[in-house]
Structure 1
Amino acid sequence: MVAWCLLAGPAQAAGVVDLDIAPQELAPALEQFSRATGMAVLVDHALSNRRQTMGVQGLFTPAQGLTVLLSGTGLAAQYARADAFTLQPVQVREVPLPPGATAGLSDSNYAATIQAVIQRNLCRSPLTRPGSFRALLQVWIGRDGVVQNSRLVSSTGDVLRDKALVNSLQNLRIDRPAPSSLRQPVTLLLLPDSSGKSMECTAGEEVFGQ
Structure 2
Amino acid sequence: MPAPDAATPPLAFDIPAQPLADALRQYALLTRQPALFRSEIVAGRVSSPVHGPYPPGEALQRLLEGTGLIAETVEGSTGKAFVLKAAGAAPAGGGAGLGNLTGYPGLVQTGVWEALCSNPRTAPGTYRSLLRFRVDAGGALRAVQLLGPSGDARRDAAIVAALQRVQLGAPPPADLPQPVIMLILPRAARGPDAGPRCAPASGAQPP
Q: TM-score, normalized by length of structure 1?
A: 0.46
Q: TM-score, normalized by length of structure 2?
A: 0.47
* Structure possessing the higher radius of gyration over alpha carbons: 1
The higher relative CO (CA closer than 8 Å, separation ≥ 6) is in 2
